[in-house]
Amino acid sequence: MMAKREHQKNLVPVLTKALKESNLLKAENTKVKPQRLKIILEREPKLYKKIVAFLQKYKKPDLGLIAVTNGPGLEPCLWVGVNFAKALSYYWDIPIVPVNHIESHILVNFLGNSEVKFPAIALIVSGGHTELILMRGIGKYKILGETRDDAAGECFDKCAKILGLSYPGGPEIARLAKLQTTRYKLQTKLPRPMINTKDYDFSFSGLKTAVLYAWQKEEKGGRKFHCSEISDQKKIAFATEIQQAIIDVLLKKTFKAVKDYKAKTLFVGGGVSANKELRKQFQRALTANGSKGSTPLTPLDLLFPPVDLSTDNALMAAVTGYFHRNKKIARSDLAKLRANANLRISK
Ligand code: KG4
Ligand code: ZN
């Protein structure tokens, strides 16, 4: 214990010297205590070195807030971002606003769309989450349903792995499905898990297992071709059917929620919403339901983010931080901010 304290005491002058040398203790930063910066980043010693180098290069930016994702997600990854934001906040004296990752996937749709009508339904489909959310305004959410096991993106990724494709699997499956084939017919139709249940929940792990068995069967089942082109055709056929099975379930459940809650806006967000075929089929379903459905869906605004803002990006956190600017945390209260792997968008 004594030895540890002695060791810490010795560290302070060394650190102060290092910060002085790295020009971190200039006039505008006299209130910054180097030891405090080190404590903020004690879980990330490597990041500490990088941040010191980074701060040396940049002057305090003209920013009102730093938005940081504090959940949901993998806690160690969340902490890296949270601690990095805390260090910047502390050093530059800029308050932080914590944001929810799922909400960020929704609110990125507000860029350029300020006239959103409520109630709205949001379908969030990412690598870790598949959720249907009822939205009565910004900050007013109710989770109607979610996946009971694998998320849609996770299913794309795992199925891609079975087919020997690279990660992330979603774009790979989409790329193959686009090639289309009539030369290879699958022996088995893949299941659409929970497509007809009355709730708004999803389950994709059964689909992945079905893909595994069907793939093994097709590989072993006597349909042997020595031509690698045929093997490519088989992958294309699988990719097309996997993508369609996922889209079918998402479409059915989402439009059920839209009808049940008489939604005026439908948001789709998260990495899987980058899928062009999914976008096309959602658009088509909107038109079809609007013209001949017994409960016309129009006027319903269907909003997708631009493709490059569907997958994780910093702008979505910034937009969400802007909407929640009243929840900002001052530099003196940084200890209150924690990562939360299970952060929920509503109770
Ligand atoms: O939202 P996101 O970028 O990260 C998480 O929050 O998880 O989503 C990543 C997921 C991955 O599973 C990836 O395979 C999937 O989004 N994805 C796609 C496409 N682009 C990314 N899935 C289907 N089609 C795509 N074009
Ligand atoms: Zn995401």
Question: Can you give the residue ranges of every domain in the chain?
Answer: 2-103+311-336, 112-304
> Where does the pLDDT of residue 2 fall: very low under 50, low under 70, confident under 90, or very high at 90 and above?
very low
- Going from the Cα of 327 to the center of ligand 2, the distance in angstroms, rounded, reads 22
Fold exhibited by the domain 2-103+311-336: Nucleotidyltransferase; domain 5 (3.30.420)
Mutate which of 157, 311, 313, 345 for ligand 1? The one with the most ligand atoms within 8 Å of its CB, which is: 311
Of ligand 1's listed atoms, the one at least distance from the Cα of 73 is 6
Q: Which residues pair with 69 in a beta bridge?
A: 99
Mutate which of 108, 156, 167, 276 for ligand 1? The one with the most ligand atoms within 8 Å of its CB, which is: 156
Of ligand 1's listed atoms, the one at least distance from the Cα of 127 is 7
Average pLDDT value for residue range 109-128: 94
Calpha distance 57→175 (Å, rounded): 41
- Going from the Cα of 251 to the center of ligand 1, the distance in angstroms, rounded, reads 17
Q: Which residue has the tokens 């305090």?
A: 60
- Going from the Cα of 335 to the center of ligand 1, the distance in angstroms, rounded, reads 32
> Where does the pLDDT of residue 291 fall: very low under 50, low under 70, confident under 90, or very high at 90 and above?
very low
Average pLDDT value for residue range 224-249: 85
- At 185-233, the pLDDT tens digits run 888 899 999 999 999 999 999 999 999 999 998 877 655 555 566 678 8
Task: Record the pTM.
Answer: 0.87
Highest averaged pLDDT of the listed ranges 42-46, 53-57, 130-134: 130-134
Nearest Cα to Cα of residue 120 among 101, 105, 141:
141
CB 301 within 8 A of CB 264: yes
Q: Which residue has the tokens 């989409």?
A: 174
- Identical fold for domains 2-103+311-336 and 112-304, yes or no, is yes
- Going from the Cα of 130 to the center of ligand 2, the distance in angstroms, rounded, reads 10
Ligand found nearest the CA of 316:
2
174 lines ligand 1 (CB under 6 A): yes
Calpha distance 259→89 (Å, rounded): 44
305 lines ligand 1 (CB under 6 A): no
Whole-number average pLDDT of the chain: 88
Average pLDDT value for residue range 71-80: 95
Nearest Cα to Cα of residue 188 among 212, 172, 156:
212
- Going from the Cα of 326 to the center of ligand 2, the distance in angstroms, rounded, reads 24
> Where does the pLDDT of residue 18 fall: very low under 50, low under 70, confident under 90, or very high at 90 and above?
low
Nearest CA to ligand 1 atom 23: 170
pLDDT at 36: 84
311 lines ligand 1 (CB under 6 A): yes
271 lines ligand 1 (CB under 6 A): yes
Ligand found nearest the CA of 168:
1
Residue 299 per-residue DSSP state:
S
Q: Which CATH superfamily is domain 112-304 in?
A: ATPase, nucleotide binding domain (3.30.420.40)
Of ligand 1's listed atoms, the one at least distance from the Cα of 311 is 3
**Cα angle vertex 124, ends 123, 126, to 5°?**
145
Nearest CA to ligand 1 atom 22: 170
Residues of the chain above pLDDT 90, percent: 68
| Amino acid letter for position 36 | R
| Amino acid letter for position 16 | T
Mutate which of 78, 102, 272 for ligand 1? The one with the most ligand atoms within 8 Å of its CB, which is: 272
- Going from the Cα of 259 to the center of ligand 1, the distance in angstroms, rounded, reads 27
